[in-house]
């Protein structure tokens, strides 16, 4: 009579346990931090600062104006927006951005077959200073619309390629919507759209034709936004309207209305006058966190063999660096680059067949833990370097007029 040998006990990998334990702790810590931040923001009065809420008074009454779509949308419901309307719109964009990030986390987690690596992927995205924490720090800004556009595009290319023409139209509309909301979003949303079109099955000459058609409206809006400059009288009137509605804005203070009068040349000249140490610190700190976390993500999801993902990460990082030369909201640019990479990875990661996760090496595990700890450490860091007075632009309407008397 044969005797069945008892199953050999499975070896417990201590490195996997360490990586999983740190991932779990990071998720608990960031959940507590985010809950605290949300509670404090809800108690804040006002919920969205006047300087940021003033953007909702920009519309198309004086013709096309960059970033005028949200204000035009708001005026569909009221002739005279109030601070309460601004609060509701800011809350809606915050919710849209948060839902978009949850969708991207879910899509990305589904590309990983095993539980412990999946936990690491979720922790790297959720604990990042570029995702949920970033949304809490820019309440009222339009970046959440960009997050939502990228997440929706990722969803549109999921599954089969049925009705791909209709999906392409939807992708084009999302690119246009994001660009009309904030022209800088085009640099991040457009590459996601191209990846989605490839995932839907277009190749060769047909892909080029479809891509050109899908991106044409957004490209036109981005170009008009870059070359157009609102008149000083128009911005003065908008600031007066926002001030009359109860916002703390005026011609002598920088706000989201006054920044519409800033040109790229003025922004670049300001950049040249900043402290080199400030610039270097912004690139090293935020860029270093971006490099470390994106490397961990692509290694965990697809391995290091796929050069496309490395090229995408580098491309989005280059856009963030270039934007840093015309705007000092460094953390915003790196956040958009990171979310764009996550959206791209969520789509391209599906092309890799599920594979058993290799036994993690000590170096890889330590790097993953370092990425999580570094991400949590950057949560208190401001959007721009407040410690350096040269980083405070103060580009009010009055100052812009002093810099360019002909405007």
What would the DSSP string read from start to end of 195-253?
HHHHHTT--HHHHHHHHHHHHHHHHHHHHHHHH----HHHHHHHHHHHHHTT----TTS
Q: What does R_g of the chain's alpha carbons equal in angstroms?
A: 23
pLDDT digits (tens, 9 = 90+) for 261-309: 999 899 999 888 888 988 899 899 999 999 999 999 998 887 655 678 8
Query: How far apart are alpha carbons 49 and 179 in whole angstroms?
Result: 23
Higher pLDDT pick, 289 / 350: 289
Query: How far apart are alpha carbons 114 and 316 in whole angstroms?
Result: 28
Residue 209 above 90 pLDDT?
Answer: yes
Global pTM?
Answer: 0.93
pLDDT digits (tens, 9 = 90+) for 312-345: 999 999 999 999 998 888 999 999 999 999 999 9
Q: Check if the beta carbon of residue 329 is closer than 8 Å to that of residue 284.
A: no
In this prediction, residues 45-69 reach a mean pLDDT of 91
Q: Check if the beta carbon of residue 347 is closer than 8 Å to that of residue 199.
A: yes
Residue 165 above 50 pLDDT?
Answer: yes
Phi/psi for 199 (5° steps) reads: -65, -25
In this prediction, residues 67-95 reach a mean pLDDT of 92
Q: Check if the beta carbon of residue 308 is closer than 8 Å to that of residue 302.
A: no
Residue 354 above 80 pLDDT?
Answer: no
Banded pLDDT at 350 (limits 50, 70, 90) = low
* Tokens coding 261: 């009068």
Q: What is the pLDDT of residue 161?
A: 82
78 torsion bin: left (phi>0), alpha (psi -120 to 50), beta (else): beta
Name the 3-class secondary structure at 354.
coil
In this prediction, residues 37-54 reach a mean pLDDT of 87
CA distances from 130 to 90, 116, 292 (A): 19, 23, 13
Q: What is the pLDDT of residue 377?
A: 94
Average pLDDT over all residues of the chain: 90
Query: How far apart are alpha carbons 141 and 95 in whole angstroms?
Result: 12
Q: What is the pLDDT of residue 321?
A: 95
Peptide bond into 330 cis (omega under 30): no
Residue 5 above 60 pLDDT?
Answer: no
Question: What is the dihedral sign for C-alpha 115, 350, 124, 363?
Answer: positive
Phi/psi for 61 (5° steps) reads: -65, -25
Banded pLDDT at 386 (limits 50, 70, 90) = confident
Of the listed ranges 23-27, 143-147, 199-203, the one predicted with least confidence: 199-203
Banded pLDDT at 241 (limits 50, 70, 90) = very high
Alpha helices in 273-329 (DSSP H): 276-302, 307-324
Q: What is the pLDDT of residue 10?
A: 46
Q: What is the pLDDT of residue 9?
A: 45
Query: How far apart are alpha carbons 44 and 48 in whole angstroms?
Result: 8
Q: What is the pLDDT of residue 8?
A: 45
Banded pLDDT at 349 (limits 50, 70, 90) = confident
pLDDT digits (tens, 9 = 90+) for 6-35: 554 444 577 788 889 999 999 999 999 999
Residue 115 above 60 pLDDT?
Answer: yes
The number of CA neighbours under 13 Å toward the Cβ of 234 is: 19
Q: How is residue 395 annotated by DSSP?
A: -
């Amino acid at each position: 009579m044969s005797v069945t040998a008892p199953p050999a006990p499975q070896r417990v990998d201590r490195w996997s346990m360490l990586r999983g334990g740190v991932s779990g702790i990071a998720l608990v810590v960031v959940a507590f931090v985010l809950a605290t931040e949300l509670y404090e923001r809800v108690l804040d009065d006002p919920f969205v600062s006047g300087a940021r809420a003033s953007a909702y008074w920009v519309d198309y009454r004086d013709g096309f104006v960059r970033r005028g779509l949200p204000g035009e949308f708001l005026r569909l419901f009221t002739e005279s927006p109030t601070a309460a309307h601004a609060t509701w719109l800011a809350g809606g964009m915050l919710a849209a951005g948060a839902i978009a990030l949850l969708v991207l986390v879910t899509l990305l987690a589904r590309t990983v077959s095993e539980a412990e690596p999946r936990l690491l992927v979720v922790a790297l995205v959720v604990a990042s200073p570029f995702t949920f924490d970033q949304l809490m720090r820019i309440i009222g800004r339009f970046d959440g619309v960009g997050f939502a556009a990228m997440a929706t595009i990722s969803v549109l290319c999921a599954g089969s390629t049925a009705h791909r023409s209709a999906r392409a139209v939807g992708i084009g509309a999302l690119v246009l919507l994001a660009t009309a909301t904030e022209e800088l979003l085009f640099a991040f949303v457009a590459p996601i759209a191209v990846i989605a079109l490839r995932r839907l099955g277009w190749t060769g000459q047909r892909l080029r034709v479809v891509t050109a058609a899908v991106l044409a409206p957004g490209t036109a809006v981005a170009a008009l936004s870059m070359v157009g400059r609102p008149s000083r009288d128009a911005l003065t009137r908008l600031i007066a309207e926002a001030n009359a509605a109860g916002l703390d804005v005026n011609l002598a203070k920088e706000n989201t209305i006054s920044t519409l009068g800033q040109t790229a040349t003025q922004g670049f000249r300001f950049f040249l006058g900043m402290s080199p140490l400030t610039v270097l610190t912004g690139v090293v700190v935020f860029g270093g966190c971006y490099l470390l976390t994106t490397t961990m993500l692509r290694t965990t999801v697809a391995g290091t063999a796929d050069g496309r993902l490395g090229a995408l990460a580098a491309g989005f990082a280059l856009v963030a660096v270039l934007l840093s030369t015309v705007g000092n909201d460094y953390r915003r640019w790196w956040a958009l680059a990171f979310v764009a990479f996550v959206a791209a990875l969520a789509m391209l990661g599906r092309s890799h067949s599920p594979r058993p996760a290799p036994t993690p090496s000590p170096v890889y595990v330590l790097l993953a833990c370092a990425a999580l700890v570094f991400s949590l450490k950057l949560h208190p860091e401001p959007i721009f370097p407040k410690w350096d007075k040269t980083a405070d632009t103060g580009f009010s309407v009055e100052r812009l007029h002093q810099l360019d008397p002909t405007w």
